[in-house]
Structure 1
């Protein structure tokens, strides 16, 4: 297994088992637009574990998007090609799901890889190799971008240099993605959103997906400053929402960096508690982007340190309770299916 010093909350199965909920609206089709798989010293979350969460939840998860997390990088070879190992790994997991032995979901139907964009135009050979090795599942790239000057603000085992998204090499690599019809997933903190605004304006043909609600920080210098953070976040997010090539994932609020204390309680939070805590973020995001550019996503197993898979999706369904049928479909599957070109959802799209 890999040794990765990630600042994620530990997953405690016995603690999670203290609360269970039946699935709300179990007939609602769902695409999990952002999850990971790994085998690390901190825990194993592979095809079997992900499938078990899906099955136990009772929710109708039909497809999923695997997103870069530096799993199963190649041990040898050129440094810039080591991320090809992660695509091979995710493709193998997708084949396992396609066998039907792990339920009905088309897990890892789309793959977001992790080759460094700083290679600029030299990125093309790696893209070509990933396209081939992914069996057509490659849909985009994600590079570590989340950076903050305060060391208490930490969410990833990889810390990039400040301002990477604005560097010339990164932008040339991002332009290469656009030419290949690939999107760019970005995980940044709310203090970096203006960098993504500049990137999206500079490359209007590049489809950018903002991960985890745009990263409103709740720890370190932002602890106890929720109102100030919210105002800063909303103002910068509005600039992003004005750009048609940007969409966003409603996810990641279970990460420690977001500042919610639920993992310290004697029992896990229920979906009503999560809904009440997340409602201001949700309503603002959908109000700015519209449901057609928003997608729910679990961010498992990272967020599993704070709540179970079934409770997460119940919280999402509570958040979307007053949405129209079409808006719910956009939030739960159609935006993700369009963004990541999920062939398995075409039949539902025609209904």
Structure 2
């Protein structure tokens, strides 16, 4: 199976600082203590085994917030090195758009050839277990002002949020039709214990799908389903594809985070089993071409 993986993370703990890996803990996502080791292109290729990974997009890995551009500098050097086959072909960098120096950070990222966009995690939840940042960044005037700078640099925005934030995100996407948005982890459907929770996720995803500049990555599902099976993933995968169509959805691994709950091959083969009745063109789009187009790699 050939894939383009648009959501992977790399880290070199010998040379770079990742605060969350310096003092790893246990959360709903899993046991980060098991991730406290270097994870490089060779490690990804070893995990891939029989899956032929053609290209990858690296999404910021919560690198030292004091120097987010250093992560991009390092990743570009990795991509330019002869042994990496040009990986990562795409870089989604970190930025705090609510910070006074956001414009300078974006300029720094834009200087590197493989930079394609940025991500700033937006997840806010009423339950402390699920809350990432404790404030609604999309409501911050400075954040919104700096968000408009993405278009200047032709950068996409990786949209990591919860269903309760999707109405605000759709308004943001409508306000910036020239910016490509990419929903992370199929919208992070976390409130799974009620009909209302499912409805909020389903309706929020369909609202975001009305924005032509929004695509979605089907990834990270194991963070909420540690003992996943093909059948437990099937409804979320198919509902996401039904909302966005096969032209704006793409499969991704979220490795090595999802490695906590299964192998690389098992994950991609599960995706393949779920869409086995799709046409060859649809499969090509979901597994390779959409990621190449959206991230321009």
Give the TM-score taking structure 2 as reference length.
0.87
Using the alignment, how far apart are the partners of 2:237 and 2:118 within structure 1? Answer: 25
CA contact (8 A) 1:174 1:184 kept: no
State whether structure 2 residue 88 is matched by structure 1 residue 111. Answer: no
Give the alignment's Cα RMSD to 1 decimal.
1.8
Post-superposition offset of 1:107: 2.2
Using the alignment, how far apart are the partners of 2:124 and 2:118 within structure 1? Answer: 18
Post-superposition offset of 1:338: 0.7
Aligned to 1:184: 157
Residue 141 of structure 1: SS of its match in structure 2? strand
Residue 89 of structure 2: SS of its match in structure 1? strand
Using the alignment, how far apart are the partners of 2:121 and 2:269 within structure 1? Answer: 30
State whether structure 2 residue 45 is matched by structure 1 residue 51. Answer: yes
Using the alignment, how far apart are the partners of 1:209 and 1:286 within structure 2? Answer: 14
Q: Deviations over 1:106-138 (max 9, x none)?
A: 421100000211247x63332222222x2x100
Match of 2:202 among 234, 242, 245: 234
Using the alignment, how far apart are the partners of 1:160 and 1:152 within structure 2? Answer: 11
Using the alignment, how far apart are the partners of 1:92 and 1:333 within structure 2? Answer: 24
CA contact (8 A) 1:166 1:199 kept: no
Match of 1:92 among 65, 70, 77: 77
Post-superposition offset of 1:95: 2.7
Post-superposition offset of 1:261: 4.2
Q: Deviations over 1:160-181 (max 9, x none)?
A: 2422123221222221102221
Aligned to 2:110: 131
CA contact (8 A) 2:192 2:198 kept: no
Using the alignment, how far apart are the partners of 1:191 and 1:162 within structure 2? Answer: 13
CA contact (8 A) 1:123 1:176 kept: no
Give the TM-score taking structure 1 as reference length.
0.74
Aligned to 2:168: 195
Residue 262 of structure 2: SS of its match in structure 1? coil
Match of 1:303 among 254, 258, 282: 258
Q: Deviations over 1:306-331 (max 9, x none)?
A: 11111011011112211111111111
Match of 1:320 among 266, 270, 275: 275
Match of 1:162 among 109, 117, 135: 135
Aligned to 2:16: none
Q: Deviations over 1:13-56 (max 9, x none)?
A: xxxxxxxxxxxxx3xx31101011123453221223112112x2
CA contact (8 A) 1:147 1:160 kept: yes
CA contact (8 A) 1:33 1:336 kept: yes
State whether structure 2 residue 241 is matched by structure 1 residue 286. Answer: yes
Residue 199 of structure 2: SS of its match in structure 1? helix
CA contact (8 A) 1:118 1:170 kept: yes
Post-superposition offset of 1:223: 5.3
Larger Rg over CA atoms: 1
Using the alignment, how far apart are the partners of 1:190 and 1:85 within structure 2? Answer: 32
Using the alignment, how far apart are the partners of 1:167 and 1:231 within structure 2? Answer: 27
| Structure-2 change in CA distance of 1:131 and 1:301 (3 Å) | same
Q: What count of residue pairs does the alignment treat as equivalent?
A: 276
User: Stretches of 4+ moved more than 4 A in 1?
Assistant: none
Q: Deviations over 1:271-291 (max 9, x none)?
A: xx2x21111111111111111
Q: Unpaired segments of 5 or more residues in structure 2?
A: 14-20, 23-32
Using the alignment, how far apart are the partners of 2:192 and 2:205 within structure 1? Answer: 20
Residue 165 of structure 1: SS of its match in structure 2? helix
Aligned to 2:215: 247
CA contact (8 A) 1:298 1:309 kept: yes
